[in-house]
Amino acid sequence: MAAQAVTPQSVDFSKWYNEIVYRADLAAQSPVRGCIIIKPYGYELWDAIKNGLDRRFKATGHRNAYFPLFIPESYIKREAQHVEGFSPELAVVTIAGGKELEEPLIVRPTSETIIGEAFAQWIQSYRDLPLLINQWSNVVRWELRTRPFLRTAEFLWQEGHTAHATHDDAEAETLQMLDVYADMAINDAAIPVIKGRKSEQEKFAGALRSYTIEAMMGDKKALQSGTSHNLGQNFATAFDIKYLDVNNEQQICWTTSWGLSTRFVGAVVMAHGDDTGLRLPPRLAPIQVVMVPIYRDEDGERVVMEAVSRLQAALLDAGIRLHVDTRDERPGFKFNDWEMRGVPVRIEIGPKDVANNTVVLARRDMPGKAGKQFVSQDGIVEAVKTLLGDIHDNMLEQATQFRDANIHEVEGDYNRFREIVADSWAYTWFCGDAECEKKIQEDNQAVSRCFPLEQDAGEGPCIVCKGTAKERALFAKAY
Query: What is the pLDDT confidence band of residue 455, given thresholds at 50, 70 and 90?
Result: very high
DSSP for 163-197 reads EESSHHHHHHHHHHHHHHHHHHHHHTT----EEEE
Q: What is the mean pLDDT of residues 85-110?
A: 93
Q: Can you tell me the mean pLDDT for 252-275?
A: 98
Residue 118 and residue 86 in contact, taking contact as beta carbons nearer than 8 Å: no
The model carries a pTM of 0.95
The residue type of 462 is: C
Neighbour count for residue 45 (Cβ, 10 Å): 27
Mean pLDDT across 444-451: 96
Which whole number is the average pLDDT over 348-367?
A: 97
Chain segment 464-479, per-residue pLDDT in tens:
999 999 999 999 999 9
Q: Which domains does the chain have, with CATH numbers?
A: 13-272 (3.30.930.10), 289-387 (3.40.50.800), 407-476 (3.30.110.30)
Instruction: Classify residue 128 as exposed, middle or buried by CB count within 10 Å of its CB (0-12, 13-18, 19+).
Output: middle
204 contacts: CB under 8 Å, gap ≥ 6:
85, 198, 210, 227, 229, 257
Q: Predicted confidence band at 3 (pLDDT cuts at 50, 70, 90)?
A: low
Distance in angstroms (rounded) separating the CA atoms of residues 466 and 460 = 8
The pLDDT, as a whole number, for residue 78 is 86
Alpha-carbon distance of 349 to 304, in angstroms, equals: 7
**Residue 83: is its pLDDT beyond 80?**
no
| Confidence at residue 151, expressed as pLDDT on a 0 to 100 scale | 94
Separation between Cα atoms, residue 46 and residue 29, nearest integer Å: 17
| Mean pLDDT in residue range 413-422 | 97
86 has a pLDDT exceeding 90: no
* Stretch 42-66: mean pLDDT: 98
CA 119/CA 242 separation, integer angstroms: 9
Given a cut of 90, whether residue 145 has pLDDT beyond it is no
The answer, yes or no, to whether residue 87 has pLDDT greater than 70, is: yes
Segment 261-267 mean pLDDT? 98
- Helix, strand, or coil (residue 108): coil
Lowest-confidence segment of 33-37, 61-65, 76-80, 341-345 by average pLDDT: 76-80
SS3 257: strand
- What pLDDT does residue 5 have? 85
Taking only the tens place, the pLDDT of each residue in 216-251 is: 999 999 999 999 999 999 999 999 999 999 999 999
- Whole-number mean pLDDT of the chain? 96
pLDDT tens by residue, 190-214 = 999 999 999 999 999 889 999 999 9
Per-residue pLDDT tens digits for 154-198:
999 999 999 999 999 999 999 999 999 999 999 999 999 999 999
Using the predicted structure, report yes or no on whether residue 351 has a pLDDT greater than 80. yes
Give me the pLDDT at residue 1, please.
42
In angstroms, what CA-CA distances link 93 with 99, 100, 102, 106, 146?
11, 9, 11, 6, 22
What kind and span of H or E run contains 376? strand 372-376
Mean per-residue pLDDT, 445-460: 96
pLDDT tens-place string over residues 358-410: 999 999 999 999 999 999 999 999 999 999 999 999 999 999 999 999 999 99
Given this model, what pLDDT does residue 119 score? Answer: 98
